[in-house]
């Protein structure tokens, strides 16, 4: 398994990783009639979404996606227009994605919270899944109602408390004990789950 490419959220002229989603999925490419294909272990789902806020509305700002022709050996399928925007092809020889949508301004009707994270703490890197919010120095929580930003909170201090508790519990663990198959399965499941409780 491999650490996954994060979705990005552009907010207050900074780029954050999307490290937590409180209510289901933030974006589903099938709603746009897209069937992404994972071509590398760092992006099993086959796409990266770039979100933002425009006039208090949650938007899909850009989308990088792999689309392949059915039955063809990894041949690029050009995606259809989204919000009037056609995709461009790969940007370089070894691009992670073969369709790049920019400046989409596609409104999303999401209701729930998002954790935006910046300043990843390298010592906490694990080569699997998405990294949780507590592994970052700066964490902002945004609350949306039907796609409208209603509240914003700085959760950095709370994440630092969680990080301390986790590291202390890990230090107390027996280093000789091997995890069970169930513990490994739960770890893998959590590594790909970005959900959190509000």
Picking from 122, 126, 150, the residue whose alpha carbon sits closest to that of residue 136 is 122
In a 10 Å sphere around its CB, with 0-12 CB exposed, 13-18 middle and 19+ buried, how is residue 57 labelled? middle
Residue span of the structural domain in which 46 resides:
27-107
Q: Is the model's pLDDT at 189 over the cut of 80?
A: no
Instruction: Answer whether residue 142 shows pLDDT above 80.
Output: yes
Q: Across residues 189-198, what is the average pLDDT?
A: 59
pLDDT of residue 14: 96
Q: β-strand 8-11 against 99-101: which pairing, if any?
A: unpaired
> pLDDT tens for residues 81-128?
999 999 999 888 778 899 999 999 999 999 999 999 999 998 887 776
DSSP states along 46-112: SEEEEEEEETTEEEEEEEEE--B-TTSSS-B-PPPPBTTBPPB--SSTT-S-SEEE-S--EE----E
Q: Establish if 61 belongs to a structural domain.
A: yes
% the chain with pLDDT above 70: 84
Residue 66 belongs to some domain of the structure: yes
In a domain, 101, yes or no: yes
Residue 160 falls within a domain, yes or no?
Answer: no
- Residue 115 domain flag: no
Q: Would you say residue 84 lies in a domain?
A: yes
CA gap 64, 109 in Å, rounded:
20
Residue 53, pLDDT score: 97
Q: The whole model's pTM is what?
A: 0.84
Q: What's the pLDDT tens digit per position in 25-73?
A: 899 999 899 999 888 888 888 999 999 999 999 999 999 999 998 877 7
Question: Domain total for the chain?
Answer: 1
pLDDT surpassing 80 at residue 76: yes
The neighbour count for residue 101, using CB atoms within 10 Å, is 26
With left for phi above 0 and alpha for psi between -120 and 50, is residue 150 left, alpha or beta? Answer: alpha
The answer to whether residue 74 is domain-embedded is: yes
Residue 76 falls inside a structural domain: yes
Q: Average pLDDT of the chain?
A: 86
Residue 191: pLDDT band with limits 50, 70, 90: very low
- Residue 52: other Cβ atoms inside 10 A: 17
Q: Does the pLDDT of residue 77 top 80, yes or no?
A: yes
DSSP state, residue 6: P
Give pLDDT, residue 35.
Answer: 94
């Amino acid at each position: 398994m491999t650490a996954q490419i994060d979705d990005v959220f552009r907010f207050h002229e900074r780029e954050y990783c999307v490290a937590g989603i409180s209510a289901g999925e933030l974006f589903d490419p099938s709603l746009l009639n897209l069937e992404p294909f994972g071509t590398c272990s760092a992006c099993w789902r086959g796409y990266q979404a770039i979100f933002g806020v425009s006039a208090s509305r949650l938007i899909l700002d850009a989308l990088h996606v792999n689309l392949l022709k059915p039955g063809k050996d990894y041949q690029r399928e050009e995606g259809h227009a989204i919000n009037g925007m056609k995709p461009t092809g790969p940007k370089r020889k070894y691009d992670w994605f073969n369709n790049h949508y920019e400046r989409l301004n596609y409104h999303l009707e999401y209701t729930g919270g998002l954790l935006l994270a910046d300043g990843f703490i390298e010592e906490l890197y694990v080569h699997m899944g998405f990294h949780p919010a507590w592994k970052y120095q700066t964490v902002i929580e945004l609350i949306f109602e039907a796609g409208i930003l209603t509240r914003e909170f700085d959760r950095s201090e709370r994440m630092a408390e969680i990080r301390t508790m986790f590291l202390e519990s890990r230090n107390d663990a027996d280093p000789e004990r091997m995890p069970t198959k169930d513990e490994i399965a739960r770890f893998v499941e959590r590594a790909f789950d970005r959900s959190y409780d509000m």
